[in-house]
């Protein structure tokens, strides 16, 4: 009778095992080699697939630093890399003029990380010249502030046709600032301004932008008193009047200098504009019966009003403030905050921009608003991404495109 093989026979040794043990070891080695070959092939194939984007591949979520669009050559128009529903193609403003200021933001931005994201000809404002049926069909694809999906052709036509002066297509016209280099102060409502004593510095700019509950009475030393542009949507204006009436906000700023800039969210804004420029009450919708004079006073000339273009708001969302929210089922609720749109509109139209009262990394130390009677925590809502906006202000400051007031932070 043959003895069973020794227990150590099939261990890995330089000497082959005899008999069935040797054949078993050879088979095992062959199977192991085949398995390693299959794994290597699968890994190599996976790498190749991961490097070849397809239409089925989900878009990568945006980073909070420079998005992919701003890494390309500033001399090339970036190829659209967003889902089609976000619409990364825009109309052209053929009336845009280059600034004569040698230090203009529009001249310097091409040499920064934002160079490829920036479009010099994107229309900032909409007015009578945009009343074309082909343009209406194009923008009907996008809802909310990003298009005309929620606005009927009748309402659009009868409202935009009233914005027909030479000033309607220019946010900053020559009558407001004739200086070679137009310096703009953009004033948010952040609590960082309480006790800041920067009011005189704000008012010393050529133009001053304000937003939402823009209360100046009693706070002139901290926030100044002038208002060149008040930026709002009908919704944010009505909400501000309801929320901040007890703090002293009874109506938007009114002065011969003040211009009113609509950020249109839906047809409410077009209906209010139409009522203002025809000196009638709002004739339909949620604001039916409202007198525009209650908001803007009696001076309701066409050159007192502007309306931001939906292409511009969509462009800001897609290229400067592309939030992670856009990759969720709540994506349709999202747009940049009214304050963010105001600041970026100034960056696209002014030569130099200083921002006051915007969120900084030390925001927890301050109340939500400079006019709050007690400390109120900053509130975050899903329709805006305030922390992404805060990081954008810091990037713009590092790029030399923005002077951001940070109080005593970093000192």
pLDDT in tens, 190-249: 999 999 999 999 999 999 999 999 999 999 999 999 999 999 999 999 999 999 999 999
SS (H, E, C) 135-197: HHHHHCCCCHHHCCCCCCHHHHHHHHCCCCCCCCCCCCCCCCCCCCCCEEEEECCCHHHCCCC
- Specify the 3-state DSSP secondary structure of 184: strand
Angstrom distance (rounded) from CA 399 to CA 395 = 6
**pLDDT(33) > 90:** no
Q: How many residues does the chain have?
A: 411
pLDDT value, residue 92: 92
Delineate the domains of the chain, giving CATH numbers in brackets: 68-404 (3.90.1480.20)
**pLDDT(186) > 70:** yes
Per the DSSP assignment, residues forming a β-bridge with 232 are 262
Looking at residue 170, what DSSP letter applies? -
Q: CB within 8 A of 42, min separation 6: which ones? A: none
Angstrom distance (rounded) from CA 407 to CA 411 = 9
pLDDT value, residue 73: 31
pLDDT value, residue 381: 87
For the stretch 159-173, pLDDT in tens is: 999 999 988 999 887
Looking at residue 125, what DSSP letter applies? B
Angstrom distance (rounded) from CA 232 to CA 236 = 6
Cβ atoms of 267 and 377 closer than 8 Å: no
Q: What is the chain's mean pLDDT, rounded? A: 83
Q: Quick check: pTM over 0.95?
A: no
Give Cα 373 to chain centroid, integer Å: 30
- pLDDT-derived band at 54, boundaries 50, 70, 90: very low
Please compute the mean of the pLDDT values over residues 175-187 and round it to a whole number: 85
Angstrom distance (rounded) from CA 94 to CA 393 = 29
Please compute the mean of the pLDDT values over residues 33-37 and round it to a whole number: 47
pLDDT value, residue 9: 36
The region of weakest confidence among 6-10, 158-162, 174-178, 247-251 is 6-10
Q: What crossing angle do the helices spanning 234-243 and 267-278 adopt, rounded to 10°? A: 90
pLDDT value, residue 48: 31
């Amino acid at each position: 009778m043959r003895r069973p093989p020794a227990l150590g026979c099939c261990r890995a040794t330089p000497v082959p095992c005899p008999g069935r043990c040797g054949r078993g070891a050879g088979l095992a080695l062959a199977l192991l080699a085949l398995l390693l070959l299959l794994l290597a092939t699968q890994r190599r194939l996976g790498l190749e697939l991961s490097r070849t984007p397809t239409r089925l591949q989900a878009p990568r979520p945006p980073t909070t630093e420079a998005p992919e669009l701003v890494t390309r050559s500033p001399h090339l128009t970036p190829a659209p890399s967003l889902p089609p529903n976000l619409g990364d193609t825009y109309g052209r403003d053929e009336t845009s003029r280059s600034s004569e200021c040698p230090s203009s933001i529009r001249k310097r931005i091409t040499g920064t990380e934002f160079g490829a994201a920036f479009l010099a000809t994107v229309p900032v404002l909409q007015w009578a010249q945009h009343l074309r049926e082909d343009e209406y069909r194009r923008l009907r694809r996008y809802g909310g502030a990003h298009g005309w999906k929620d606005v009927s052709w009748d309402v659009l036509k009868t409202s935009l046709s009233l914005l027909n002066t030479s000033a309607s297509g220019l946010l900053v016209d020559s009558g407001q600032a004739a200086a070679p280099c137009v310096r703009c102060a953009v004033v948010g409502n952040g609590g960082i301004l309480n006790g800041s004593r920067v009011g005189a510095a704000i008012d010393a700019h050529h133009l001053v932008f304000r937003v939402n509950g823009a209360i100046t009475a009693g706070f002139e030393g901290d926030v100044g008193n002038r208002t060149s542009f008040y930026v709002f949507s009908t919704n944010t204006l009505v909400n501000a009047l309801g929320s901040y009436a007890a703090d002293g906000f009874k109506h938007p700023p009114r002065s011969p200098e003040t211009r009113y800039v609509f950020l249109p969210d839906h047809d409410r804004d077009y209906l209010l504009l139409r009522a203002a420029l025809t000196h009638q009450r709002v004739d339909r919708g949620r604001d039916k019966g409202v007198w525009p004079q209650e908001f803007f006073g009696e001076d309701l000339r066409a050159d007192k009003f502007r309306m931001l273009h939906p292409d511009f708001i969509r462009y800001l969302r897609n290229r400067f403030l592309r939030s992670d929210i856009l990759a969720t089922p709540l994506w349709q609720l999202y747009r940049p905050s009214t304050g963010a749109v105001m600041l970026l509109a100034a960056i696209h139209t002014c030569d130099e921009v200083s921002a006051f009262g915007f969120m900084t990394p030390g925001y927890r130390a301050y109340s939500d608003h400079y006019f709050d009677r007690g400390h109120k925590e900053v509130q975050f809502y899903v329709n805006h991404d305030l922390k992404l906006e805060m990081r954008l202000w810091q990037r713009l400051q590092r790029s030399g495109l923005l002077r951001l007031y940070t109080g005593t932070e970093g000192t």
